[in-house]
Amino acid sequence: MRHIAIIGSGPAGYYTAEAAQKAFAGDVRIEVFDSLPVPYGLIRSGVAPDHQSIKAVSNRYEKVALSDNVGFVGNVCVGRDVSIAELRELYDAVVLATGAPRDRDLGIPGETLSNVFGSAAFVGWYNGHPEFAALDPDLSGRTAVVIGMGNVALDVARILAKTRAEFAGSDIVAHALDALEASRIERILILGRRGPHQIMMTPKELGELGHLERAAPHVAPADLPAPEEDAILEPGLRKSVSHLRAFAATPAHIRAEKPIDLEFVFMSSPKALVGNGKVEAIEVEKTRLVRGQAEGTGETETIPADLVISCIGYRTSPIPGVPFDERAGRFANDEGRILPGLYCVGWARRGPSGTIGTNRPDGYSVVELIAEDAESGALGAARKHGRAGFDALAEERGLEVVTFRDWKKIEEAETRAARDGAPREKFVDVAAMIRARD
């Protein structure tokens, strides 16, 4: 019997568990660890609360989690509560599926001013991640600047723009719903260093901006390349650009019917955040494209900003004892192998890119590496203690382990607490989650 520990219960973790079940059939025991008492990683705390159909992918992970040879070890932070060396003593293979939960820095002056957030923090706030639930962004100003032109920036801009009614059926947490309802924001700028042909926004998500109740998207027609230049774009991007063209074509008097302006600001690189304690403005340098990359022109502009959210990517958190690639912001690995017996998958392996489904082949390929290493003898004889050994260690350390059955009780309590039409009201602190299972 082989024992596999998967660290992280997001998509990469559960696809790996699914692949290991298939590859090792009855001859494997898998534990999925998570630092939170609740599973599913960014499916719960990243994917937008008003995109419930996407969150339904967790049903597939639940099926794996409920199998006899798969366990959940919630509320255990690897690297803090238990070390990698200890887990490697207990398991034949340890797979790091810890994602990339830290915001990449903008690296500009003024980044530490108040009301400046990274998207991990801001998204964590409206999705009820315990680490960010108390963020308390100040939404009393007029202008919000969202930095970045990917789907996370779109999520953030859309959430800032929606009315309470538009959150019907979502699982946005109550504190965020109330704060957003009281928001005074009238202008949301989506700021990017490059142009309309370089956006990383997918058409469906971008198109949603055109159907908001109280916000109208706007693109300055002069910012768009000549229409015939769209022909060289791949079809998805071409479709996204056609949405930008539709936004640019909307007459001003139609846009004026909605109280919130959602403006795209292209070819603008953030240079500094300015303010006295709290952010008041963002200084940008206009750019031009040189071989597809943004290059500063020296021309600067100062834009008022009462709230700034940067959506420019994420980094994995290092874990003591695991080689880390500082430049790339993820574990140092060769196609998922860190060394025989220690592997990584998902965002912890390849960085923050792709969709949920991209993590599936990742999980399957890392299991192939484990099988190869087991076959070649690199993992040694199958004599590890696995979960029994971990339980002894957890008891000795007084760790409060949350099982999958416990999670189901937490989930039931969240479902019971849901407001009308919502699927759940999430617990936003760890102590409350743990109380709910008792």
Ligand X SMILES: Cc1cc2nc3c(=O)[nH]c(=O)nc-3n(C[C@H](O)[C@H](O)[C@H](O)COP(=O)(O)OP(=O)(O)OC[C@H]3O[C@@H](n4cnc5c(N)ncnc54)[C@H](O)[C@@H]3O)c2cc1C
Stretch that binds ligand X, among 3-11, 18-26, 211-219, 273-281 (CB under 6 A): 3-11
**SS3 at position 98:** coil
CB-based burial, 61-79: b 16+ in 10 Å, e otherwise = beebbeeebbbbbbbbbbb
Q: What angle do CA 353, 359, 361 make, to 5 degrees?
A: 125
Nearest CB to ligand X, comparing residues 42 and 410: 42
Q: What element of type H or E holds 110?
A: none
Closest approach of ligand X to the CB of residue 120, in Å? 7
Nearest CB to ligand X, comparing residues 28 and 201: 201
28 - beta bridge partners?
2
CA gap 186, 236 in Å, rounded: 30
Query: Does the protein bind ligand X through residue 11 (CB under 6 A)?
Result: yes
Nearest CB to ligand X, comparing residues 283 and 331: 331
Nearest CB to ligand X, comparing residues 338 and 374: 338
- Residues 167-186 binding ligand X (CB under 6 A) are none
Instruction: List the one residue from 37, 49, 79, 336 that touches ligand X (CB under 6 A).
Output: 79
Nearest CB to ligand X, comparing residues 41 and 192: 41
Amino acid identity of 37? P
Positive or negative CA dihedral for 125, 128, 132, 137? Answer: positive
Q: How many residues bind ligand X (CB under 6 A)?
A: 36
Closest approach of ligand X to the CB of residue 54, in Å? 5
Amino acid identity of 39? P
Please list the helix, strand and coil fractions of the chain in percent, rounded to the nearest 5, in that order. Answer: 40, 25, 40
Nearest CB to ligand X, comparing residues 271 and 360: 360
Tokens in use for 237?
A: 């991007």
Query: Does the protein bind ligand X through residue 160 (CB under 6 A)?
Result: no
From 135, 108, 72, 124, select the one nearest 193 (Cα to Cα). 108
Q: Are strands 278-290 and 293-304 parallel, antiparallel or unpaired?
A: antiparallel
Nearest CB to ligand X, comparing residues 78 and 179: 78
Tokens in use for 99?
A: 């994602």
Closest approach of ligand X to the CB of residue 114, in Å? 22
Instruction: List the one residue from 6, 12, 281, 433 that touches ligand X (CB under 6 A).
Output: 12
Instruction: List the one residue from 6, 8, 106, 370 that touches ligand X (CB under 6 A).
Output: 8
> Looking at the chain, how many residues does it have?
438
Instruction: List the one residue from 18, 155, 280, 285 that touches ligand X (CB under 6 A).
Output: 155
CA gap 181, 196 in Å, rounded: 31
**Could you give the count of Cα atoms lying within 13 Å of 323 in the half-sphere of its Cβ?**
10
**SS3 at position 279:** strand
Positive or negative CA dihedral for 252, 255, 260, 264? Answer: negative
Closest approach of ligand X to the CB of residue 7, in Å? 5
CA gap 67, 126 in Å, rounded: 32
- Residues 19-78 binding ligand X (CB under 6 A) are 33-36, 41-42, 46-47, 51, 54, 77-78
Nearest CB to ligand X, comparing residues 209 and 281: 209
Tokens in use for 235?
A: 């079809």
Q: What single DSSP character describes residue 418?
A: P
Tokens in use for 194?
A: 């490059």
Tokens in use for 156?
A: 């953030």
Binding track over 91-130 against ligand X, x by CB under 6 A: ------xxx-x---------------------x-------
Stretch that binds ligand X, among 168-176, 177-185, 355-363, 426-434 (CB under 6 A): 355-363
Stretch that binds ligand X, among 1-9, 132-140, 180-188, 255-263 (CB under 6 A): 1-9
Query: Does the protein bind ligand X through residue 333 (CB under 6 A)?
Result: no
Closest approach of ligand X to the CB of residue 340, in Å? 21
29 - beta bridge partners?
3
Instruction: List the one residue from 75, 240, 333, 359 that touches ligand X (CB under 6 A).
Output: 359
Binding track over 299-328 against ligand X, x by CB under 6 A: ------------------x-x---------
Q: What single DSSP character describes residue 379?
A: T
Nearest CB to ligand X, comparing residues 215 and 309: 309
Nearest CB to ligand X, comparing residues 116 and 123: 123
Binding site for ligand X (CB under 6 A): 7-13, 33-36, 41-42, 46-47, 51, 54, 77-79, 97-99, 101, 123, 152, 155, 317, 319, 346-348, 354-356, 359
